[in-house]
Amino acid sequence: MILIAALLLDAAFGEPRWLWDRLPHPAVLMGRLVGWCDSRFNRGEDRKLKGTLVAAGLALTGLALGWLIHLIPDHGLLEALAVAILIAQKSLVEHVRAVASALRRSVPEGRRAVAMIVGRDTAQMTGPDIARAAIESAAENLSDGVVAPVFWYLVLGLPGILAYKLVNTADSMIGHMTPKYRDFGWASARLDDVLNLIPARLTALLIALTHGWLDPAPILRDAPKHRSPNAGWPESALAPVLNVALSGPRSYDGVRKDYPWVWPEGRRDPGPDDIDAAADALWRVWAAVLAIAALIVIF
């Protein structure tokens, strides 16, 4: 029942500005912890060992914090609120739809909106580039921000979802193949890959089934081509149900990367309507997750 309540709370209220303008969001606190670890330990020799200990420490911190909350008498409401905060369904949909709305007004506005949710270069993006980036972000964050947290909550309860979110935050901040983080962030990136291994594939399955797509061949063909061991799965499922080619060439820090296409048979000119269709797909998967949670409670 706690998970069902959390899913409904997040869908109804999302990330209320009036609250998080006054209090630090747990994701912000997690980011501060990772940032402190970065500034304190990412120096000198043995950076890979230090980074490995940091990744393990973050996971253990999440497990311990969740366990301590379980010790609080009548902690059910607190746990439901915590889980709702750690699931990002409504805020994800709002950010994705904001790109569609901005793109309808103009390409420059679309660039500014999509820059809020992707890490690639946006200055030279065309309309289709913007739409494609928003759809890819929707697919990847559906896995990272909704399905994976729910999965780890079902497996390990509140300790599981807290440990996952701390590791995922570390991956987003320090899990980069740059000179500064290649060694120190290696363990966080690899641990995040492991924790998302099953959720990413479950996300792909849920996307396909909620849209009546029963042919696994294109998903199995395209997902392994992706630069990420996990992000390719939800992308390769969302691309055919929308009939939009995803991934492909893009630029990072001024360097063009010729990545292979996901669902190359699809349209290469997506627009705002396709972004909205992706947002609708997020709600379909959310409804499926809610139904699964209800079935678990019943049986």
**122 is in which domain, residue-wise?**
2-298
Indicate the number of domains in the chain: 1
Q: What are the DSSP calls for the chain, one per residue? A: -HHHHHHHHHHHH-S-HHHHTTS--HHHHHHHHHHHHHHHHSSSS-HHHHHHHHHHHHHHHHHHHHHHHHTSTT-HHHHHHHHHHH--HHHHHHHHHHHHHHHHH-HHHHHHHHTTT--S--TT--HHHHHHHHHHHHHHHHIIIIIHHHHHHHHHHHHHHHHHHHHHHHHHHH---STTTTTTTHHHHHHHHHHTHHHHHHHHHHHHHHTT----HHHHHHGGGSSSTTTHHHHHHHHHHHTB-EE-SEEETTEEE-PPEESTTSBS---HHHHHHHHHHHHHHHHHHHHHHHHHHH-
Q: Which two tokens mark 241?
A: 């149900």
pTM: 0.96
Please say whether the beta carbons of 246 and 71 come within 8 A.
Answer: no
What is the spatial distance between Cα 109 and Cα 289, in angstroms, rounded to a whole number? 33
pLDDT per residue as tens digits for the range 111-121: 999 999 998 99
* pLDDT tens, residue by residue, 2-53: 999 999 999 999 999 888 889 999 999 999 999 999 999 999 999 999 999 9
Reply yes or no on whether the pLDDT at 298 is more than 90: no
Confidence of residue 253 (pLDDT cuts 50, 70, 90): confident
Tens of pLDDT, residue by residue over 66-111, are 999 989 998 999 999 999 999 999 999 999 999 999 999 999 999 9
